[in-house]
Amino acid sequence: MQVDTTDVLCPITFVRIKVALDEMETGQMLTARINSGEPLKNLPRSAEEEGHKVLGITQNADGTYNLQIEKCG
């Protein structure tokens, strides 16, 4: 699953990730495209606070980031 959050601001960024995760099965992986700055700082933490696992963060050529989340629970 993939979700793009780079066209919206907090907290809609996190809402999109939360809704995407809700539609997935436990153990499945979500790739969220996120902006640098505040989203990069907060979204991994928010995902973990909801009980999910952050598997990694990689930078894209356009300066955005890919946040890999494993759905838990």
* 16 belongs to the binding site for another protein (CB under 8 A): yes
CA 65, 68, 71, 72 torsion-angle sign: negative
- d(CA 32, CA 41) in angstroms, rounded, equals 14
For residues 18 and 32, the answer to whether their CB atoms sit within 8 Å is no
Candidate residues 1, 6, 18, 68; the one interacting with another protein per rule CB under 8 A = 18
Q: How far is the CB of 16 from another protein (least distance, A)?
A: 6
* 50 belongs to the binding site for another protein (CB under 8 A): yes
Give me the residues that bind another protein (CB under 8 A), please.
Answer: 8, 11-12, 14-16, 18-19, 22-23, 50
